[in-house]
Each structure stands twice: as C-alpha cells, then as structure tokens.
C-alpha cells in the first residue's frame, strides 16, 4: 500500500495580500524554500515531495508516522511566517491515497479558514509490512537534441507540458498520479499498474502527439528506494539506445 500526504499552507491566499499584495518574487522564494525544506524533512525518512501547486503539495510518505508529520509542522512554524496543515491517507492506489488524505483535511475546515491552523488529519497510515511504492520515472527520449538544442526554450517547455497533460489524463484513469520533476522528467506513483499498462500509455502518446517516452519502473518499500530503482531502469534503457519502452527493477531488501 502507498501512503500520500497533502501539505497545505494555512490561509495562504489572504496572507499573500495582507496588508497589501506581497512582492511576487518574495512569494516565489517562500514557496521554493518551503518545497525544498519539505523535501529535506520527508527525504530524511525516504519520502518524496512533489511541488504540485506549491500552496498545496503532495508527498509519498511511506515511512513517516504521525510524530514525523508533527515534527515537520513544528519546524515550519518555527521558521516561516505561515503554518501548514496536512492530511494523510493510505490505499492500494496513489489516487485513492491522496483522495483520502484530502478528504481528511477538508473535513477539518477550509484552506482559507482563519481558525483552521496546523491541522494534522490522518485518515490512515501504511504499516511497515504493507508498505509498497511503485514509481515510474518517465523521460522524453533525446529531448536535448530534438528540442532543447533546436527549439526556443518556451516552445520546448510547451511540448514538455503537452506530454505531461497526456500522461496525467491517461494515468489518472488507472488510479496513478504524475508529477513534473524537472527537465523532461516526470515521476508517476503508480501502484497497481502493470508494466504493460505503462507501455500502452506511452505507445498511445507516441501515436497521438509524436512524443517518444521511456519509463524506468522502480518498486520498493518507500519513495526513495522506488525512485532510485526507476532511475537505474532508465539508465538500462539508455544503455540499450532507448530501444525499449520500460525497464522494471525491484529493490532487494
């Protein structure tokens, strides 16, 4: 089972415009620093945070218990002008886990409630014995030579965003999630999908928009182990000249 945590900045909208609209570059720095801080905290326990919408972030949090989440909230409160609330859920699929986490937090009040502050709403936690993460690290083939080195930076960004939209649309139907992680890379928490499911999605995208993808698929007890196995899988595909769609590697414990 996979555990997902929703991290939500408390009452952020009103804060950004009180007493007047705050300088946008300052808001971008706060959001970027918070994202980095959260990855440090979750990463210390082999979790992985995705920037998602920056005011609402999703994390794979297998390996983090209630106390771990409370410690993170305290550390953010001590060092930031804002506080964070969190929801936690565990399920067989990543989409269901994040949905449980979201509902748990929504029950505690609105994201822009002046009263709701530093809530930790735990719907469910994954047990050590049931903890399992499957992550697909999906990469666009030869983006450097086909896009980065020949198209304008923004046009390349548009194509990467187009690939992201197609991937998200197809993966969500199978209970999987997808996050952009930089460059031409996406990470898909995809517990429950088979290697063939992922290959079929990439073949469809190639046929529909002509973007060729490859996916290292990693399996482990937590995000870090699964993501690392997925990276190794990507390197195996590169070693075979991008000739295959997927490569699965399971962490040996």
Ligand X SMILES: Nc1nc2c(ncn2[C@@H]2O[C@H](COP(=O)(O)OP(=O)(O)OP(=O)(O)O)[C@@H](O)[C@H]2O)c(=O)[nH]1
Q: Is the CB of residue 217 less than 8 Å from the CB of residue 230? A: yes
Smallest separation, CB 69 to ligand X (Å): 25
CB of 228 to ligand X, least distance (A): 10
Say if residue 220 is exposed, middle or buried (CB neighbours under 10 Å; 0-12, 13-18, 19+): buried
Contact between 144 and ligand X per CB under 6 A: yes
231 is a site residue for ligand X (CB under 6 A): yes
The verdict on 224 binding ligand X (CB under 6 A) reads no
Sheet holding 48-50, edge to edge: 48-50, 56-60, 2-9, 84-91, 120-122
Examine residue 143 and tell whether it contacts ligand X (CB under 6 A).
yes
Q: Strand 185-189's sheet: what is its strand order? A: 179-182, 185-189, 133-140, 213-220, 246-250
Q: Is 36 in the site for ligand X (CB under 6 A)?
A: no
- Within residues 47-86, the interface with ligand X by CB under 6 A covers none
Helices (H), 111-152: 143
Binding mask 179-218 for ligand X (x = CB under 6 A): --xxxxx---------------------------------
To ligand X, the closest distance from the beta carbon of 135 in angstroms equals 12
Interatomic CA distance for residues 39 and 73, integer angstroms: 13
Residues contributing to the site for ligand X (CB under 6 A): 139-144, 181-185, 231, 238, 242
């Amino acid at each position: 089972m996979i555990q997902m945590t929703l991290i939500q900045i408390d009452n952020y909208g009103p804060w950004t415009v009180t007493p007047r609209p705050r300088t946008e570059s300052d808001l971008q720095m706060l959001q970027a620093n918070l994202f980095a801080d959260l990855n440090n905290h979750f990463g210390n326990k082999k979790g992985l945070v995705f920037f998602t919408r920056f005011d609402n972030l999703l994390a794979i949090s297998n390996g983090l218990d209630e106390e771990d989440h409370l410690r993170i909230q305290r550390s953010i409160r001590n060092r930031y002008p804002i506080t964070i609330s969190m929801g936690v859920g565990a399920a067989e699929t990543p989409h269901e886990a994040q949905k449980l986490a979201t509902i748990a937090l929504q029950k505690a009040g609105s994201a822009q409630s002046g009263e709701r502050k530093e809530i930790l709403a735990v719907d469910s936690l994954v047990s050590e014995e049931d903890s399992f993460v499957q992550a697909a690290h999906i990469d666009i083939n030869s983006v450097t030579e086909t896009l980065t080195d020949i198209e304008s930076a923004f046009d390349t960004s548009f194509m990467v965003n187009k690939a992201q939209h197609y991937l998200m649309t197809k993966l969500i139907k199978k209970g999987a999630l997808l996050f952009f992680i930089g460059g031409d890379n996406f990470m898909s928490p995809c517990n429950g999908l088979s290697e063939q499911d992922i290959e079929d999605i990439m073949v469809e995208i190639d046929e529909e928009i002509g973007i060729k993808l490859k996916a290292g698929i990693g399996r482990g007890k937590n995000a870090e182990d699964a993501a690392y196995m997925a990276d190794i899988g990507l390197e195996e595909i590169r070693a075979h000249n991008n000739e295959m769609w997927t490569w699965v590697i399971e962490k040996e414990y």
